[in-house]
Amino acid sequence: MAERILMNEYKTLAKEPWMNIELNEEDIFKWTIGLIVLNPDSLYYGGYFKASMEFPKNYPYSPPEFRFLRPLYHPNIYEDGRLCISILHAPGEDEMSGELASERWSPAQRVESVLISILSLLDDAEVSSPANVDAGVMLRKEPEKYKSIVRSNVEASKSDIPEDFVMPTHQSTAAKPVEKDDSDFWAESDADDDVFGGSDSDEDLNVDDQDTGSEED
């Protein structure tokens, strides 16, 4: 069941210009993702933020694990690339953190909602309980220095752009990566589009906006 749900999600997300997904054809539970910020007003505009996403065997009942593969200086990103973000926390309320069940992972969530929340987090950092204390302090007290570091991160991230991938722009969001090869095992999932109610995308994404109200620790 989990494999079929993930394949359906992949087929939907592969059409989006704001991400590039590289599947491990031997293991559908391991994805490599390139996230792209399409908002030209964002400090992160123009970057290609490569990350790994690993899904549990009981997905979607438990959340995936997400980690940026290149250092990204941000109050809510640990040095190893993991994030401090509520949507990736196990289902149910947490009295210690004060997080409500509605803020955390639930089986109704999908990969798209996680990635949109992460993109929103980049420009809307939660500095009250940061994963990177130094970044949180710098953002508050030395914002120009913080921006300079982030800009250098963005430039460094461009070296991760695959040779066969055309970076989209705000003006030309129709740009797409090269056609994915969904042959062999993945082609067998074509008949499974009705799993969990068909497409896992609840609504169309406004790529000019990419805004959600994600909650962090």
Tens digit of each residue's pLDDT (9 = 90 or more) over 182-200:
444 344 444 444 433 344 4
CB-based contact 84:176 (threshold 8 Å): no
The answer to whether position 134 is within a domain reads: yes
The answer to whether position 49 is within a domain reads: yes
CB-based contact 55:29 (threshold 8 Å): yes
The answer to whether position 210 is within a domain reads: no
Residue 179, pLDDT score: 41
Is 84 catalytic? The answer is yes
Q: Which residue has the higher pLDDT, 177 or 140?
A: 140
pTM of the shown model: 0.74
CATH number for position 63: 3.10.110.10
The answer to whether position 99 is within a domain reads: yes
Domain that holds residue 144: 1-160
Helices and strands per DSSP (H, E), number in the chain: 4, 4
Q: How far apart are CA 143 and CA 88, in angstroms?
A: 28
Count of structural domains within the chain? 1
The answer to whether position 92 is within a domain reads: yes
Q: What is the average pLDDT across 106-123?
A: 92
Catalytic residue among 23, 84, 85, 121: 84
The answer to whether position 182 is within a domain reads: no
CA angle 42, 210, 23 (to 5 degrees): 105
Q: How far apart are CA 184 and CA 188, in angstroms?
A: 7
The answer to whether position 76 is within a domain reads: yes
**Tokens for 95?**
């009295």
Residue pLDDT, tens place only, 142-166 = 999 999 999 999 999 999 999 999 9
The answer to whether position 168 is within a domain reads: no
Kindly provide the residue ranges of all beta strands, DSSP E only, lying in 37-174, ordered along the sequence. Answer: 48-54, 65-68
